[in-house]
Structure 1
Amino acid sequence: MLAALAFASCSKYTELEPVDAASEKVAFETPANIKLAMLGVYESAAIGAYNGDKASARGYPFGAASIEQAEMRGEDMLNIDQFYAITYSGDVNTTSANNVNHWNNLYALINQTNVMIEGVTGAVKNNVISDAEAKAYEGEARFLRALAHHELLIHFCFPYGDGAGSKAGIPYRVKAVTTMQAVQENLSMGRGTVAEAYTKLLADLDFAETNITNATYPAADGGYSRATKGAAIALKIRIKQHMGDWDGVIAEGAKLGTSLAAPPFKSPVGNYELTADPEVPFTNYKSNSESVFSIANGPNSNGGSNGALAAMFGPADKNGRGLVATSPILYNASFWVVNDLRRSKLQVLQTTAGARYYFNYKFRDYTNRADWAPIIRYAEVLLNVAEAYSRKGNVAQAFALLNAVRNRSVTNLVDRFAVPPADLTLAILNERRIEFTGEGRRWPDIHRLAKDPVYGINGIPAKMLRSQMKLDGTDYNPATPPVFSGTGVPKYDYDNFRYLWPFPSTEVAANPTLKNQQNKGY
């Protein structure tokens, strides 16, 4: 999104060490500085730090890590090496790196958004920018604040569907840590409930939708790597889906064109529409009609060899690290037809003898690692609303939305659905697994559906291990799926403490309120 110099110059504006430094004040003294400060918030969303060291950033929280962690908590991608072994096996603890860094970087981003909101509010009082400009910046910040808090909810809390949000939530922080008083207030904040957090999520996104005035940003300003009105609506659709608010999903979806009677579906906000080819959102990640919101990476600013999507998900024979492959659980699934274009275009077989895995081929800049991280695509909007229509009994609209996504990749007429499947909701859920593999949507679906009486997994699903495979290429055979022997990672039931991640030990040591509200088992 930005040149290295721009990243270096903007990141300092919202750094708060020490908390009484003047840097955040300087950031809001001119319109140009405010623009750089906002870009610094996006940098925090993309790069973060690893164990407090920004020089060894690994794409926390949204530049890569949110996708990688969500895939490793699910069963559709296969952990090959030790890099993600703890997440994959569910053996995290209060000091394990992946979950601790995810928590720390999410709250660091949240603080950046709060600093931004406080700063632009003050800039209006000082006649630096107009009230409308300040509210537009605040809308962007509140979009990111909602995105970050929801990420915390899906890893550290039980889903909304368990008791209508009555279970313990996470601290929803809305005050900037720029004074010692603010430090103390944040370090004594308790969890609240999941429902209370969701109410605040929606309030943030309603504000963003109303006040982000730009329908789109020009490419020079980051394109769809900036939060927009359409992105706020799309994220609300996702949030309401997690709540099981199907009427709300349908109502929000109508704003983005999902109530049209038939394909092609096109959004009047942001002009989103599916690309004709499923490959385009990934080969042309800076400019396509389908991406709603992505996190920008670049040659000089990315998750690095230890975090970037192309490095982690890419095969070694193409200069990736070959750490995470597609699991035969998904590749051989009966619901994924053999001739689907997403096999031929978005999966790639590693040719290395004795290590013939299929790898995700959505992120393929193995040299520069500049692939943008997709957070919301229009395909997700369509399938989210399709599920809502199906749940509400509107089969025709649900079927039309499903086919809009499915039929661009399933091009053989014989493989297409001539009539709605008997279980249309299941078909939509299965389509999500195919369409979004490698994009981090599997764990959020497992999480939100945990207590669903029909479609819930009721825990963390069983997973394959590399040791169960022959590794000669025959493990991947959807036409005649092989039978795998041996023992993989076992399923963990919903009531197993491993279902939730723990709060970091450093957090509970500093916050006596959270210490008494730690997730059980840790």
Structure 2
Amino acid sequence: MKNIILIKRYAHIWLGGVLALMQLSSCSDILDKEPILETSATELFSSSKKISEYLEGVYQRLGSTLPSYFSTTDMRGDEFDDILQNGNLSAYDMNLSVDGTSGQWNGLYRAIGEANDFLNHLESARDVVGDAYEQYRSEALFVRALSYYYLTVLYARTYHLQPEALAVPLRLGTPETSQDDLAPSTIEAVHQQILADVSDAHIAALPTGKNSISGVTHATQAAAHVLRQRIYLERWEWQKAIDEGEAIQGYALGGLTDVFVPPYYTEESILSFPYGANNPNSLAASFYLANSTALEDTYSGIFALPLYAQEGDVRFSQLTYKPNTHRTITKYRDVSSGSDWIPVFRYSEVLLNLAEAYDQLGQEDKAKTLLLQVRRRAISAEDDQLNESSLSGRYLREAIYLERRIEFVGEGIRSIDIHRRGETFWKRKGGNEIIVGPADSGYIFPIPLSETSQNKLIKSDH
């Protein structure tokens, strides 16, 4: 029975390796890789080229779950309304009533398992991979760290309110040991593991490339710094968040709409997950576009606020439209084939992260400058009805929070911000209000039955 359970739980490791190994002849054809259908562990790590191909599979494993993950985090926030009330897609997320049969657990742990498997075999192939060893290792650790970060967003309590609350199991070993029953670690322990996986030494081993396919679809030093910045924001360690943001150099704000059209990378793109001929169906366009699932909430959504629904603002006039009674975003447009790339980190986030951290430390001038740097890219001072002179104290902080909402609407960040600040989820759906606070059961996902039924050391009511 134990062996059957192990096969069912961890078949993804080798199946994922088979499906995700892509022949990569150059950076330019990253979207047109074909899977190698039959291979073995020995063959996979027999050459540097094959190891590089396997690493692509590690990225794709995480990429396969991100569209669904971001739609989940978006529906948990207050920006969107599920007019279809489709329980299989998003109604449970929107109502904050997810049970033990739903969630993003399995996809994220498959990505972690893929990264662990790669790391395990890479260690025995150091002579084969040569000088690329440290970079490949650091890239796989980054994927693992990012996956654990996303797990904490849904399955862990807010850090600054309950740093010792139980979060998720830290599975770090080989495929042979990762199937063991394992108790959940605290959110503090998970944070420390994430920070260890993107330590200074590992960041130094990552490439610095940008504004190219490989520089945006792979872990870079900048991407690792953004992940650390997010962790420090979660922990309310504001100066450390500032240090991480200031370490990111060489990026700039260009044309905002360029981020969401081919070639999908720009001078502000830090990390995106690509979708193309052999890895299609980001599903983002079919999820957000008109007459689909997620339409802008006309009551609590950001565009219900007049100052954030100005025609002079590119984010309103060019990245949304209103076909009928509801407005929808148009950041993702390829409904037929689902080839839209999913942006994970953009430079505008770095700037707004810095603005929030500086504001928390009382450095309002720096915070305001950074806020307006992002806002002026989208709307000119002449067109803007926002009173800049009023931006001080609580009004500045509120403006930073609202700017994050309009800048990243449809990019899965809103409910992450609510959760990390320990704020209450509040929205009105139909004639009912949904109010869920940090101590309430719906604030985080229950660990799914697929885990609790097999892992004797974990409970769904963590």
Secondary structure of the structure 2 residue equivalent to 1:128: helix
Residues 374-389 of structure 1: pairs in structure 2 closer than 5 A: 374-389=343-358
1:46 aligned onto 2:63: yes
Aligned partners of 2:388 and 2:427: how far apart in 1?
Answer: 33
Is the 8 Å Cα contact of residues 78 and 324 (structure 1) preserved in structure 2? Answer: yes
Indicate the SS of the match to 1:419: helix
TM-score, length of structure 1 as denominator length: 0.78
Query: What's the secondary structure of 2:129's corresponding residue?
Result: coil
Note the C-alpha offset of 1:426. Answer: 1.5
Change in 2 beyond 3 A, CA 1:463/1:113:
farther
Match of 1:308 in 2: 283
Q: Distance in 1 between matches of 2:74 and 2:315?
A: 18
Query: How much does 1:298 deviate?
Result: 1.1
Q: 2:321–2:327: 8 Å Cα contact kept in structure 1?
A: yes
Alignment of 1:187-198 (within 5 A): 187-198=180-191
User: Is 1:69 aligned to 2:39, yes or no?
Assistant: no
Q: Relative to 1, partners in 2 of residues 1:218 and 1:348: Cα closer, same or farther, differing over 3 Å? A: closer
Equivalent residue pairs, number: 425
Q: Measure how far apart 1:287 and its partner are.
A: 2.8
Cross-structure match for 1:57: none
Q: Which amino acid in 2 is paired with 1:197? A: V
Partner letter of residue 272 of structure 1?
A: Y
Q: Equivalent residue of 2:81, what SS? A: strand
In the TM superposition, what is the alpha-carbon distance from 1:356 to its structure 2 partner?
Answer: 3.1
Determine the C-alpha separation between the residues in 2 that align with 1:365 and 1:4: 15
- 1:464 maps onto 2:429 in alignment: yes
State the 1:434 CA deviation.
Answer: 0.6
8 A Cα contact 2:307 2:386, kept in partner: no
Report the counterpart of residue 10 of structure 2 in structure 1. Answer: none
Partner of 1:345: 318
In structure 2, the partner of 1:205 is 198
Q: Which has the higher helix share?
A: 2
Structure 2 distance, partners of 1:326, 1:300, is 31
How far 1:337 sits from its partner (Å)?
Answer: 4.6
Q: Identify which of 78, 83, 90 aligns with 2:81.
A: 78
In structure 1, list runs of 5 or more residues that go unmatched.
14-21, 48-59, 257-266, 317-321, 451-455, 466-486
**1:286, CA displacement in angstroms?**
2.6
| Amino acid in the other structure paired with 1:509 | S
CA deviation after TM superposition for structure 1 residue 463, in Å: 3.6
Q: State the partner residue of 1:91.
A: 97
Distance in 1 between the 2:139 and 2:30 partners? Answer: 21
Give per-residue Cα distances to partners, 1:419-476, cap 9 Å, x unaligned.
35132121101110111000000111010011xxxxx33xx222434xxxxxxxxxxx
1:505 correspondence with 2:446:
no
2:47 counterpart of 1:30: yes
Judged with a 3 Å threshold, the aligned counterparts in structure 2 of structure 1 residues 94 and 210 are, in CA distance, closer, same or farther, namely same
Show the 5 A alignment for 1:109-124: 109-124=111-126
| CA deviation after TM superposition for structure 1 residue 284, in Å | 3.9
SS at match of 1:407: helix
The runs of at least 4 aligned residues of structure 1 exceeding 6 Å deviation read none
CA distance in 1, matches of 2:365, 2:32: 52
2:234 pairs with 1:282: no
Deviation at 1:24? 2.8
CA shift for structure 1 position 501 = 0.8
Query: Equivalent residue of 1:376, what SS?
Result: strand
Matched, 1:447 2:419: yes
Give me the whole-angstrom Cα distance separating, in 1, the residues matched to 2:216 and 2:181. 37
Residue 298 of structure 1 aligns with which residue? 276
Looking at structure 1, the residues matched to 353 and 148 of structure 2 have their Cα atoms a distance apart, in angstroms, of 20
Give, in angstroms, the shift of residue 519 of structure 1: 1.9
8 A Cα contact 2:211 2:265, kept in partner: no
**How much has 1:38 moved relative to structure 2?**
0.4
Other structure's SS at 1:249 match: helix
Pick aligned residue for 2:108 from 89, 106, 110 = 106
Amino acid at match of 1:8: P
Specify the alignment match of 2:373 in structure 1: 404
Q: Which amino acid aligns with 2:53?
A: L
The residue type paired with residue 80 of structure 1 is I
What RMSD in Å do the two structures reach over aligned CA positions? 2.0
Q: Which residue of 2 aligns with 1:153?
A: 152
SS at match of 1:408: helix
Distance in 1 between residues matched to 2:399 and 2:125, nearest whole Å: 51
Distance 2:386 2:101 in 1: 48
Structure 1 residue 401: Cα displacement: 0.6
Residue of 248, 251, 263 corresponding to 1:272:
251
Query: By how many angstroms is 1:67 displaced?
Result: 1.2
- The CA distance in 1 between the partners of 2:305 and 2:259, in whole Å, is 24
SS of the equivalent of 1:386 reads helix
CA displacement at 1:367 relative to structure 2: 2.7
Structure 2 residue matching 1:231: 3-state secondary structure:
helix
Q: 1:489 to 1:28 in 2, by over 3 A?
A: farther
Tell me, yes or no, if the aligned pair for 1:462 and 1:492 is still in contact at 8 Å.
Answer: no
In 2, distance between residues paired with 1:232 and 1:158?
23
Structure 2 Cα separation of the partners of residues 25 and 429 of structure 1: 51
What per-residue deviation string (whole Å, max 9, x for no partner) do you get for residues 203-257 of structure 1?
1111431211x211684x634011111110111111111111101011111112x
Q: Is the 8 A contact 1:7 1:43 kept in 2?
A: no
Give the residue type in structure 2 aligned to 1:40.
Answer: G
User: 2 CA distance for matches of 1:86 and 1:24?
Assistant: 40
SS of equivalent to 2:378: coil
2:161 is matched with: 162
3-state DSSP of counterpart to 1:375:
strand
Q: Could you say which residue in structure 1 is the equivalent of 2:362?
A: 393
Q: Is the 8 A contact 1:159 1:448 kept in 2?
A: yes
Is contact 2:308–2:316 with CA below 8 Å preserved after alignment? no
Amino acid at match of 1:461: W
Deviations along 1:5-35, one digit per CA (max 9) or x if unpaired, are: 72422xx68xxxxxxxx72332111111101
Give matches, 1:360-371, under 5 Å.
360-371=329-340
1:367-401, Cα deviation, whole Å (9 max, x unpaired): 33211001110000000011000000111111111
**Alpha-carbon distance change, 103 to 95 in structure 1, aligned in 2, over 3 angstroms:** same
1:176: which partner in 2?
Answer: 174
Moved more, 325-334 or 505-514: 325-334
